Structures are given as C-alpha cells and as structure tokens.
Chain A
C-alpha cells in the first residue's frame, strides 16, 4: 500500500519536474506563461488611465446673450463632464465643428430664454449630441442636464423664498419625493475597474489553454510524444502524470493571481474587497478546470502554432458570455447554459462579486461549485485523452 502511494507521489513529482523543464526551455511557450502576464495588464489599462471622461469639448450657440443665458453657459462649463470649448453665432457654424469632431456636442440657447423664465413660461434649451460614441453622448447630455437642473432649482427657490416661503419648505415643494441615488461598488464609475478585472481573468484562462496547447502541438509535430507517455524517462501512469503537470501550472498561476489581483490592483487603485487568500481559494477550481481542459485539448493540436490560431479569437466571445457587460439575464437561456462549460463564465462573475463588490464568500458558492464540477469533468476528459494517445502510440510501438 505504502509502496503504491510512494510510487504515485514519485510519478507526480517527476511529472512536475519534467513539465517545469519543458516549459522553461521553450521560449515560445514562456511568452504565454510569463510574457503575456507581464505585458498585457500594463498595456490594457493605458487608454483609460484617466478612468473617466472629463471636460468633453462642447460648442455653445447663445442667441439670447442675457445674464441668465450667460450664467447657464458658465454652469455648463463648470460641470466636470463638459467644457465650453467654442462659441458660435449660428447653429450651422457649430454643426461643422461638431461634425469634424472638434466638439462633441452643441448647446443652443434660443433668443428669449431669459424672458421666458422671467415670465414663468417654459424655456427651452437644445442640446445636439452624438450617440454613436456612447460614453461621449451620455456625458454631454448629463452635463447639460445637470447645469439645467441646477439653474432650474435656483430659479424656483428664489421665487418661493422671495414670497416668504422658508428654504426647507421651498425645497420640499419643488421636489416632494427626493431620490438619493447611491452607486455601489464602483462609486466613481471608473472604466478601468469595470473592464480590466474581467480581462485579466480571461488572460489567465487563454494563456493556459494556448500555452499548454502549444506544448502539445509542438510534441505532436516533432514526434516527441514520449513526453506524454512517460515522466522524465520513467514509466508512469496517466493520473500521476496529469496531476504532476497540474500541480506545476497551479503553482505558476498562484503566482500570477497574486501578481494580478494583489499587486497590480494596488498599483491601479482598483477595489480590493477580498483577502488574497479568499481570492486564491476561489480561483483554485478555476485554475484546475482550465488546466485539465488545456491538457485534454493539447492532445488535439497538430502543430506548434495551432493553439494560437484556434484559440486566440475565442477570447472575445468568452468575455462577452461572462455577463460582466451585457448582463447574463439578457443572454438567451440555452446559450447561457452552454457558456457555463467555459470556466471564465463562472470565474469572472464570482470574482467580480467577491473582490470588486465585496460580497461574502457564501454569495459566490454556487459559482465556486460550478468550477469544481468543471474540474471533475475536465479531469476525466484529460485522462481519457491521454489514454487515447497512449493507445495510438502503443500501436505504433512508440512507448519509450
């Protein structure tokens, strides 16, 4: 019995060592196990280094030119989201600036604006926006709305208090049902902490799939399949071999997880609401399931470059299926069910809840459970795929 155990562990250890040697001696593969993890997380957040879109340039056409209209324009300029960049005398002139991209919106104040307000008649402001770039559209529109709301409130309060109404009553007359909107988890609406965490999880999965696939394809191409059939030259059975490799990749990716979510998150000031320990615990079945899946897939690739060519383009569909942007509730049920076969679907959702939102671990138990199920499923796939390879090669007498 003890003999069987020590044989088992010897197999695991020699498999781990041989996998480590194989990875570290292959520069191409090292790019996927180190190069990508060191470079992509630095490149990706660069475009939204400023995290928010601020001071978008807008054009102003003030045909009223009164104290109130000028005050309105000042308020628009004062909002964080937009800045008054240009003033025009006609709407047509402003339009040219808008279409050329020089400005991202037009604020048009018609003649008679102040007069209408003073006469308690409805006063209109027009804002021209471009909704083909969604963030720009939303910011410009909201910025102008904010200015209009502030001035409207000011006008009304003045009217009511000048009639003798106390300020608090004036406020509650204007807005009897005030709404306090509290953005949770990403208070400032920062774009980086919305996008990058999901991207990092995808990177973990895709690099494992492509990297291990590259090793498999290379072995197939060079007819050195013996690496799949023995551990450092000794005979060993399939399960210790798979476990040894998995142990190596798990250790490697523990390092990456700590780097991504412990160190980089701190550098980028992303929310870190979970301890690194609970993050590691959560990601354990994720790394296991992806590694087993990668091992199973690696037996299919026929050349060194195959895994890149086949898998690179799957990143975008996988990230869309995770529901971090377009929500899961809006994805058709059948597709959503299939998407759970992809480890990142559960991993991204669970990680966002755990770390970005600060949920308790109990809230992510279902996702964690799914990842364990996938680990079991893909472990079986890996074992079966190795069995298949052995069968093929023992027929050809290549067992060395």
Chain B
C-alpha cells in the first residue's frame, strides 16, 4: 500500500516538473482559465440589460403621444435615442442596429384615443437579437398597456363605474407569477452558472489529454510506466493529481465569482455543490484519459475531445431546454458529464430543491469517473508497447 503511495508521489513530482518545463501547461491550467473567467466578468459587468437604444416615430406630436413616449423611455431597458421623422429612417436605424426597436405612433393618435377609435401603435422590434428583442418588447408592451389601462379606467369612470370596479373591468383575471427558482429572474445568474463551468470543462479535458497524449507522442510512456511500477492506479492518480489540484483552485475561483461576486443564491448545500464540482473535474479528467486510451494517439484524442467539448454547450439544455430536444440529442446530452453537473448545480444553488434530486446526477458523474478503468488493460498495453508511441 505504501509502495503505491510512494509511486503516486514520484509520478506526481515528475508531472509537476513537466508542467514547469513547457509554457503550454501553465497556460491551460491557470492562465487561460482565470483570464477567461475575468473576460466573462468584464463582458457581463453591467449585470442587466439597461438603456438599450430605441427609436420612436411620433407622427402625432401631441401631449398624449409625448406622454406615451416618456412612459416608454422610462422603462429600464429602453432608451429612446432617436426620434426619426419617417418610418424609412427608422427602418435604416434598425438595419444598422443603431436601435433594436422602432415604435410608431400614428397621426391623430390623441384625437382617436379620446374618441375611442383605438388607433394602433406599432412596435417593430429586432427579433434576430432574441434576448434584446424579447426584453425590450415586454417593457414597451407594459408601458403602452399602462397608458391604455389608465384611459380605459377613466372612460369607465365617466360612465359611472367606481374606480375599483373600473380597475377590475380592465383586467378581470390577474395572473400572479410566483417564480419559485431564480426568483430575481436574473438572466445573468443562469448564464454565468452555465458558461463558466462550460469554459472550465474544456480546460480540464484538454489538460488531461495533453498529460497522457504527450507521453505517447514523446515516447516517454514506458519510462512513466516503469516509474509507476506497472500499476494502472499509480500511473493515473499520480499523473492527474497535480492537475486536479490546479483545476480545483480554478474551480474555487469560479465558485467564488459565482456565489460571492454575482451573489448567485445558494439555497441548497454548498458542501454538496463543492463535492459535485470536484467530481465534475474528475469526470472530465477521466474522459480525457478515456479518449487517449481509445485512440492511443495524442492528436486524434485531441480532435475527439475538441468535438466533445466545443459542441457541449448547446446540448446541456441551459439555453434551449433538453425537454424540447429530439431524442438523439437527448441521448447525447446524457453522455456529457457537464449536463449532469449542471443539474446538481442548478438544484443546489438557484433552485434549492431537495437533495434527493441531486443523487442520480451525482452517481452518473461517478460513473464517468470510473469509465476509463474499463479500458485498463488497453492502457497497460499502450503504456508499455513501443508500437503505440511517437505517432503524429
């Protein structure tokens, strides 16, 4: 037993020396991850969508139309930047994405509203930019509806209804929205919570492939295998240990960003989440080992991992939900440790639902961690037989 521990320490020290010898190692385990996280923080530093540019074509120019413009401008995400005189000017502004929405108030607006002729106000919004379009559309809608409701109430009161009666008539059924999870409906919470782990997993996977693949390519696999006394566990654990430490540091930085800087709610168990983060790192290290074992070829394993990692984000269902995937996509989603980690992450942080729902994803992550062991016999072969070495 202590032989194994001595072996692991020896292999780890050898690995640390390797990490120090070439810039790429430090780059991919520390420099790039931390920089990427910081760039993310910088990009989203505004936190919420605010004061996005809009245009209004006010063909009426009356007190009421100007009031409507003011109400729209008062919306947090809308900033009326341009007041073009014609619709075609507004269209050009939309084409140049100088504005994301163009509101048109028709001629004789005030006159028609007061005489209950219901003149239509048009809201042309850019729906190619889904996030922006959706946000601004909601707020413009709310502003116009408020004005409309106010006038409707006033009209009814003139007809003799009581104020409260009039209010009810305008909206007889009110839908009360109880947002159970992510109660701030903060888009950034779940964007940060999904993108940061997504970025991290790429580094973990690539580093693991670099670690094992380079031994094959540089023909040093045999030396490593001998140092580890021909033991699968000693080799794998010793080799990956320094990276696990480094990536755990990255992950701690990431979780600090998420829970301290972004103040993501932590409504579940932080211990379970940190443990899950560790399993997540181990799972992707295991997948890196798995790819190298199967391919027995540094570059090919790297290609496979590139595909596996760079297509992952759309499959984890954080943007377009998994429930709406076609079946092959659902299957592939489950082949990604990231999907299972995200379930635990959401459960324990934003959602705060009972821990029992995190058990199965956790067990699945564990399954990924032990997966490469099924190919231990092949690993032994490629580590000791020269024909697997030196491939480009």
The answer to whether B27 has its CB under 8 Å from any CB of chain A is yes
Q: Is the CB of B314 within 8 A of A195?
A: yes
B124 proximity list for chain A (CB < 8 A): 182, 184
- Assembled-state Cα–Cα distance A297/B200 (Å): 24
Residues of B within 8 A of A132 (CB): 181-182, 189-190, 346, 350-351
> How many interface residues does B have (CB within 8 Å)?
117
Cβ 8 A contact of A183, one of B118, B120, B125, B328: B125
- B210 at the binding interface (Cβ < 8 Å): yes
Q: How far is the CA of A129 from the CA of B51 in the complex (A)?
A: 27
Contact A184/B46 with A125-B175, A316-B195 known, Cβ cut-off 8 Å: no
The interface residues of chain B lying within 8 Å CB-to-CB of A189 are: 127, 130, 134
Counting from the closest, the 5 A-B pairs by CB-CB distance are: A172-B118, A359-B95, A183-B127, A177-B148, A131-B182
Mostly, the B contact residues are: helix
CB-nearest residue of chain A to B116: A172
- For the complex formed, measure the closest distance between the CB of B48 and the CB atoms of chain A, giving whole angstroms: 8
Q: Measured between alpha carbons, how far is A178 from B49 in the docked complex, in Å?
A: 26
Contact in complex: A308, B127 (CB < 8 Å): no
Q: Given A182-B125, A330-B49: A176 and B152 within 8 A (CB)?
A: yes
Interchain CA distance A317-B43 in the complex, whole Å? 9
- Which chain B residue lies CB-closest to A140? B177
Instruction: Give the residues in chain B near A3, CB-CB below 8 Å.
Output: none
14 further interface pairs, Cβ-Cβ under 8 Å (given A120-B168, A179-B145, A335-B43): A48-B324, A99-B357, A131-B185, A135-B319, A148-B174, A152-B173, A155-B172, A189-B130, A312-B202, A312-B306, A313-B206, A326-B191, A327-B49, A359-B95
Of the listed residues B68, B127, B156, the one surrounded by the most CB atoms of chain A closer than 10 A to its CB is B127
Which of B92, B118, B180 interacts with A129 by CB under 8 Å? B180
Please pick, from A35, A39, A180, A356, the residue contacting B120 in the complex, using a CB distance under 8 A.
Answer: A180
A352 to chain B, nearest CB (A): 6
Q: Does B133 contact A (CB under 8 A)?
A: yes
Give the residue of A35, A40, A125, A356 whose beta carbon is less than 8 angstroms from that of B311.
Answer: A40
Q: Which residues of A contact B180 (CB under 8 A)?
A: 98, 128-131
**Which residues of chain A come closer than 8 Å to B183, judged between CB atoms?**
131
Question: What 1/0 flags go to B94-135 for Cβ under 8 Å of A?
Answer: 111100100000000000010011111111111111111110
- B190, B198, B324: the one within 8 Å of A316 (CB): B198
Give CA–CA (A353, B94) in the complex, Å.
9
Contacts of A320 in B (CB 8 A): 40, 43, 195
A182, B122: Cβ atoms under 8 Å?
A: yes
Q: Which residue of B lies closest to A328 (CB)?
A: B97
Quick check: B129 and A148 within 8 Å, CB to CB?
A: no
Partner of A173, one of B46, B152, B321: B152
Residues from chain A with a CB closer than 8 A to the CB of B51 are 329
**16 pairs, CB–CB < 8 Å, chain A vs chain B:** A31-B303, A53-B323, A72-B173, A99-B354, A100-B357, A120-B165, A136-B321, A156-B172, A181-B137, A182-B123, A182-B125, A194-B130, A317-B43, A320-B43, A325-B130, A356-B128
Task: Report Cα–Cα, A152/B116, bound state, in Å.
Answer: 19
Taken residue by residue from 79 to 114, chain A's Cβ proximity to chain B (1 for < 8 Å, 0 otherwise) reads as 000000000000000000011110010000000000
B265 to chain A, nearest CB (A): 10
Known: A171-B118, A174-B152, A309-B24. A127 touches B176 (CB 8 A): yes
Give bound CA distance, A44 to B187, whole Å.
23
Query: Contact between A313 and B203 (Cβ–Cβ < 8 Å)?
Result: yes
Residue A252 at the B interface, CB < 8 A? no
Residues of B near A120 (CB, < 8 A) are 165, 168-169, 172
Choose one: B46, B319, B321; the contact of A332 (CB below 8 Å). B46
Asked whether B128 lies within 8 Å of A124 as measured between CB atoms, the reply is no
Closest Cβ neighbor of A98 among chain B residues: B180
Chain B residue nearest to A174 in the complex (CB): B152
CA A187 to CA B165, docked complex, whole Å: 38
Task: Say yes or no: A313 contacts B324, CB within 8 Å.
Answer: no
A122-B172, A186-B130 known; A134 vs B190 contact (CB < 8 Å): yes
Distance between Cα atoms of A137 and B320 in the complex (Å): 11
Known contacts: A134-B187, A177-B121. The answer to whether A144 contacts B175 by CB under 8 A is yes
Q: How far is the CA of A138 from the CA of B198 in the complex (A)?
A: 23
Query: Which A residues touch B121, using CB under 8 A?
Result: 177-180
- Please, which residues of chain B bring their CB within 8 A of the CB of A47? 314-315, 317, 320, 325-326, 329, 333
Contacts of B191 in A (CB 8 A): 326
Q: Which B residues are within 8 Å of any A CB, using their own CB?
A: 24, 27-28, 32, 36, 39-40, 42-46, 49-53, 68, 92, 94-97, 100, 113, 116-134, 137, 140-141, 144-145, 147-148, 151-152, 155-156, 165, 167-183, 185, 187, 189-191, 195, 198-199, 202-203, 206, 210, 213, 298-299, 302-303, 306-307, 309-311, 313-315, 317-321, 323-326, 328-329, 333, 346, 350-351, 353-354, 357, 392
A175 within 8 A of B: yes
The reply to whether A148 and B45 form a contact with Cβ atoms under 8 Å apart is no
Instruction: Say yes or no: A117-B148 contact (C-beta < 8 A), given A47-B320, A353-B97.
Output: no
Cβ-closest chain B residue relative to A141: B177
- In the complex, are the beta carbons of B179 and A131 less than 8 A apart? yes
Q: Check if A324 sits within 8 Å of B175, measured CB to CB.
A: no
Smallest beta-carbon distance A62→chain B, Å: 14
Contact A326:B314 (CB < 8 A) given known A48-B320, A186-B127: no
If the complex has contacts A179-B141, A180-B122, are A327 and B132 also in contact, measured as CB distance less than 8 A?
yes
Is A121 an interface position by the 8 A CB rule?
A: yes
A83 to B314, CA, bound (A): 24
B95 CB to closest chain A CB (Å) equals 4
B148: shortest Cβ distance to chain A, in Å? 4
B315 proximity list for chain A (CB < 8 A): 47
Decide yes or no: A127 and B190 within 8 Å by CB, A169-B116, A326-B43 being known contacts: no
Whether A137 contacts B42 by the Cβ 8 Å rule is no
Q: For the complex, give the distance between the alpha carbons of A151 and B175 in Å.
A: 12
Judging by beta carbons under 8 Å apart, are B311 and A43 in contact? yes
Chain B residue contacts of A24, Cβ below 8 A? none
Known: A44-B314, A132-B181, A327-B49. A28 touches B320 (CB 8 A): no
Chain B residues near A316: list those with CB within 8 A: 36, 195, 198-199, 202, 313
Residue of A nearest to B198 (CB): A316
Residue among A56, A148, A177, A353 making CB contact with B113, cutoff 8 Å: A177
The docked-state distance in angstroms from the alpha carbon of A220 to that of B161 is 86
Q: Is A191 an interface residue (CB 8 A)?
A: yes
In angstroms, Cα B302 to Cα A308, docked, is 8
Q: Smallest CB–CB gap between B261 and chain A, Å? A: 16
Assembly CA distance A326 to B134 (angstroms): 12
Cα-based distance from A305 to B216 in the complex (angstroms): 13
Given A176-B118, A317-B36, check contact A309 B206 (CB 8 Å): yes
